[in-house]
Amino acid sequence: MEQNAYQIKNWIQKFQTLVALMLSSQTKDQITAEVMGRINSLGLTPFKFSKMSLKDIQNIIYPIGFYKVKSKYIYSTSNILLEKYDGDIPNNFKDLLELPGVGPKMALLAMKIAWNETVGIAVDTHVHRLSNRMGLVKSAKNPEQTRNQLESWLPKEYWSSINHLLVGFGQQICTPISPKCSQCLNTTLCPYFLENKPSR
């Protein structure tokens, strides 16, 4: 009985991990956390979401960014998970990508968080920007080009940590506008700083 309860808890956690990733896009972390707290307290599962109206789902996930579109993603994904995976989430990158609203970054993070498997580098806007700015990649035009270039030279043992490191750095120091170069320890190696540092 205990093992069965553990399996159910693990199954719900994996599903809610996927939902959290879907909701986090274009949404502040604090809002995502608040909404996920609501979802967790309600014990929402693919089965429960599949029985809800889109309006009910919207009311639960509001004020998530693009909540109307994401409510459709959650509803459709819940039904697919029930039909194809017995309510669990896919255990591979390819099948995760086929779920509505799930892109490469989300699928890779889901593989790492839910299945503890690192199969690629999750590239979001911060990783994409910093990789180009710091010369880690060469003129990558989109996150997938950045991912492919990073994976071509960065040892796999570092794939799971680079997202976490660069996201925090990009949020606090190497910001999109007016990066805080005076607080950065990488200035002697950074092409952006060397090209834009004030002349003496």
Is residue 176 domain-shared with residue 141, that is, in the same domain? yes
**Nearest C-alpha neighbor of 122 from the set 21, 35, 200, 50:** 21
List 9, 105, 112, 180, catalytic entry: 105
Domain range for 30 is: 2-115
Per-residue model confidence (pLDDT) at position 13: 93
Average pLDDT estimate for 68-92: 97
SS3 (DSSP) at 174: coil
Active site residue 138: no
Separation of alpha carbons 125 and 60, rounded Å: 27
Indicate the residue among 115, 136, 157 that finishes a domain.
115
**Position 175 pLDDT exceeds 90:** yes
Per-residue model confidence (pLDDT) at position 7: 82
Indicate the residue among 115, 139, 161 that finishes a domain.
115
Residue 28 lies in a domain: yes
The pLDDT > 90 percentage for the chain reads: 90
Predicted model pTM: 0.88
Question: What are 23-45's pLDDT values in tens digits?
Answer: 999 999 999 999 999 999 999 99
Separation of alpha carbons 150 and 131, rounded Å: 8
Which residues contact residue 170 at a Cβ distance below 8 angstroms, ignoring those fewer than 6 apart?
Answer: 125, 126, 127, 129, 130, 176
Longest dimension (CA), the chain: 72
Is residue 153 domain-shared with residue 64, that is, in the same domain? no
